[in-house]
Structure 1
Amino acid sequence: MVSLFERILEAHEGIRPDVPVTTLERSTLLSRELRSDVWLKTEHLMPTGSFKVRGSANKIRTLGSAAKRTGVITASTGNHGQGVARAGKLAGVGVTVYVSHSTTKSKMAAIEALGAELVVIQGSALDAEKEARRQSELRGKPYVAPYNDLDTVAGQGTLGVELFEQASDLDAVFVCVGGGGLIGGVGTALKALSPRTRVVGVWPKASTCMLDSLNAGRIVETPECETLSDGSTGAVEPGSVTFPICKEVIDETLTVSEEEIAHAMRLVAEGERWMIEGAAGVAVAGLIQTAARYRGKKVAVVLCGRNIAVETFLDAMKRAGE
């Protein structure tokens, strides 16, 4: 049986050139402020503005000609839907994306702009996932999971391979956690290539679904509140393949407040002149919270995306400046 790490290495070659290698940039401001050597993985500069293009491209690639005949169905809180829409457009595959009615309007518009059919569900992100899977079975179309699929996780894991190739001496990597696909893939790659590197998972306090499941030892439902980190929200699907992977690869877990997220987003804007979304701010906030512990260390933070409404970003900047 092919291991997840072997799948990641195959994906690392297979998704090129459709998915570019993102740069790892040193942050002068954060390095000075936190008294450590801070590097930023620029996933927010990806096409569609998110790391999600990795897993989407890999899943569409592995489906091959079957997907071209039938088209595919997926569910998303926004970024994954854009990734699948882009991958489908490049491969000549029709894409239908199910989203919750609470999904950011700008993300819905971006999905449609890439040529995908959008179906809005009156319910939660998990409700959209369940309906997308049901329609996939009814209509005989492959389902492209946002995280609950080993090919998707392997695509996200290519980020971990890039990190090792760009900086093999990292002491820690900070990653925002939603369904666990990103940290599961990155963590798997780093455990194989650089076991000394600590994998730190960070959650907004308003949405700790995977963390609560890890603490419970099984996948549980968790109440959620509104958060700047809308890209990481949504319950973990029952039986998700990411749950055992996250149990294996996450070395440290942290939670951050909305104030900490907004402050982190502002620091990145001031230091790098980048507008990042809340989920990326979550990872930065985790590093800031544990700065004393990582003083003098070389650390990387995954800036997972930039897809945030301008009004929401400006409100966060105002909140952080007060």
Structure 2
Amino acid sequence: MNGPEAPLPVTLADIEAVRPLVAAAVLRTPTLQAPRLSALTGAEVWVKFENFQLTASFKERGAVAKLARLAAEDAARGVIAMSAGNHAQAVAYHGTRLGISTTIVMPETTPQVKVLATEAYGARVVLFGDTVADAEQEARRIAEVEGRVFVHPYDDVEVIAGQGSIGLEMLEDGPAFDSIVVPVGGGGLISGIAVAVKGRSPRTEVVGVEAALYPAMRDRLDGETRPSGGPTLAEGIAVRNVGRLTSEIVARLVHDIVLVEESALERAVNAFLTLQKTVAEGAGAAGLAALLTEPERFRGRTVGLVLCGGNIDPRVLAGIMMRELERDHRIVSFRLTILDRPGMLGRISTLLGKLGANILEVHHRRTFLDVPAKGTRLDLTVETRDQAHAEAIQRALEAEGLPVQRLGAGGADW
């Protein structure tokens, strides 16, 4: 006969105990209905806007819960953490606010903008190694040498409890949720939310979502070892190792974990920006990517999404928007081989104008050996309304006797 299950490493009582500390220092972000995202996905979507935090990430909650509960002698020793982004800024900001010396070890590959942002919050930044795992080893070494308190980004009772305040706020501010979908990296966020949600609303399922390139928690639950690694838009959840505490909580309380591809993450980031008019980093948009990946699972259900962060490189965001316009056939490229004589370019531009196509870019090339000596190659990028409009333009060009090749994103053949 089996005995009662062992208690979880973090309880609802732990979350409620740190909640006043979190509430005193961190914004209670809104949980709002998102009709346009609902129309996109077929679910009744509500969003928890953690990108509204001062450092644009939920990480502030766990950092406050940990730092504010340090004993005076530990706070005097200072703290150290390893991070490539959001955890670094959260610990730096709240450590400085509480008068605690902070050191952050970041991989040498960390973008300079994140290094400067962390330093701006008052931390000493040490660059070490190529990965977060390398940075953790160095952070633990420095902690031992300097006597600093190590603040783990996710596998820590206070940190998990702090993140759990999100779940309580969603249940209090939103409707009766069928599902709450949470991005998963090391597991601190989903662990805290799962404890809070299952403690207050047992009928609500908690679903995790990971980038398919980094399925660490899914592997832990399934007992499998999938390939892991590669460039992902969701770098905030790109981990190869999950926590010991977090994996125990997830195994007991989380209904399932959905793996999402990079194209779904791109669509989700773009949808948050264009439909919801808010900025989400790749990890922050992962919940919406899960709804786009498995629409039938969530169709007709009331679903809460945790938009956990908005720290995305503006250049990456601009690139995503352009790629989505190409996917929607609102920006298309054509290649034409034409006679090299006066008036040809004007003739083509006049035709495109009559068809309602806005010319964005023109490349006029004469030197390719596969182009006739009296010919030239013309690459045109135009703005169109939709795929039907793009196809109508191609037919009109061909009707003028102009051989047309449709090009895809990046100049590849369509």
Same fold (TM over 0.5): yes
Matched with 1:88 is 95
Tell me if the contact between 2:118 and 2:125 (Cα under 8 Å) persists in the aligned partners. Answer: yes
Q: 2:234 matched to which residue of 1?
A: 229
Question: SS in structure 1 opposite 2:283?
Answer: helix
The answer (yes or no) to whether the contact 2:215–2:226 under 8 Å persists in 1 is no
Change (3 A) 1:154 1:93: same
Q: From 256, 278, 294, give the equivalent of 1:290.
A: 294
Residues 81, 111 of structure 1: 8 Å contact kept? yes
- Equivalent position amino acid for 1:264 in 2: A
Tell me what 2:156 maps to: 149
The answer on whether the counterparts of 2:260 and 2:289 sit within 8 Å (CA) in structure 1 is yes
Aligned to 1:185: 192
The two structures have a TM-score, normalised by structure 2, of 0.74
| Inter-partner Cα distance in structure 2 for 1:116 and 1:45 | 22
Give the 3-state SS of the residue equivalent to 2:214 in structure 1.
Answer: coil
Structure 2: stretches of 5+ with no match in the other structure: 1-6, 327-414
- Per the TM alignment, residue 112 of structure 1 is displaced from its structure 2 partner at its CA by 0.7
Does structure 1 conserve the Cα–Cα contact (< 8 Å) formed by 2:10 and 2:160? no
Regions of 4+ moved over 6 Å: none
Give the Cα–Cα distance (whole angstroms) in 2 for the partners of residues 61 and 317 of structure 1: 40
Number of aligned residue pairs: 319
- Partners of 2:239 and 2:302 in 1: how far apart? 32
Aligned to 2:203: 196
CA RMSD of aligned residues (A): 1.8
Question: Which letter does structure 1 place at the counterpart of 2:299?
Answer: R
The structure 2 residue matched to 1:99, chosen from 98, 106, 119, is 106
| Residue 123 (1) aligns with residue 130 (2) | yes
CA contact (8 A) 1:168 1:194 kept: no
Give 5+ residue unaligned stretches, structure 1: none
Residues 71 and 235 of structure 1, relative CA distance in 2, 3 Å threshold:
same
Q: Which residue of 1 aligns with 2:303?
A: 299
Q: After the TM superposition, which of the residue ranges 127-136 and 76-85 deviates more from structure 2?
A: 127-136
Q: Contact between 1:178 and 1:233, CA under 8 Å: does it hold in 2?
A: yes
Comparing 78-87 and 226-235, the one that deviates more:
226-235
Between the aligned partners of 1:271 and 1:96, the Cα distance in structure 2 is 39
Deviation at 1:224, TM superposition (A): 1.1
Q: Is the 8 A contact 1:172 1:298 kept in 2?
A: yes
Matches within 5 A, 1:305-320: 305-320=309-324
State how far apart, in whole Å, the 1-side matches of 2:141 and 2:240 are: 17
Check whether the contact 2:37–2:276 (CA below 8 A) recurs between aligned residues.
no
Deviations 1:219-246 (A, max 9, x none): x796311100011123326x63211111
1:26-37 → structure 2 map (5 Å cutoff):
26-37=33-44
Distance 1:233 1:103 in 2: 14
Q: Is the 8 A contact 1:202 1:256 kept in 2?
A: yes
CA distance in 2, matches of 1:123, 1:63: 31
Query: Which amino acid is 1:300 matched to?
Result: G
Structure number with greater CO (CA < 8 Å, separation at least 6) is 1
Q: Is the 8 A contact 2:14 2:161 kept in 1?
A: yes
Deviation at 1:3, TM superposition (A): 4.8
Q: Going by fraction, where is helix more abundant, 1 or 2?
A: 1
Give the match's secondary structure for 2:296: coil
- Identical-residue share of aligned pairs (%): 34
- Shift of residue 123 of structure 1? 2.4
For 1:189-210, what per-residue CA distance to the aligned partner results, in whole angstroms no more than 9, with x for missing partners?
A: 1111111111111111121222
- Where 2:69 maps in the other structure, the secondary structure is helix
**Alignment correspondent of 1:22:** 29
Aligned mates of 1:255, 1:104 — CA distance in 2: 26
Aligned equivalent of 2:223, options 216, 221, 229: 216
1:115 and 1:222, CA in 2 relative to 1: closer, same or farther beyond 3 A?
farther
Query: Larger radius of gyration, structure 1 or 2?
Result: 2
Range moving further from structure 2, 39-48 or 128-137: 128-137
**Which letter does structure 1 place at the counterpart of 2:316?**
T
Compute the TM-score of the two structures, normalised by the length of structure 1.
Answer: 0.94
CA distance in 2 between counterparts of 1:6 and 1:241 reads: 17
The one-letter code matched in structure 2 to 1:44 is: N
* Of 94-103 and 299-308, the range deviating more from structure 2: 94-103
Distance 1:135 1:38 in 2: 45
Q: 2:144 aligns with which of 137, 148, 165?
A: 137
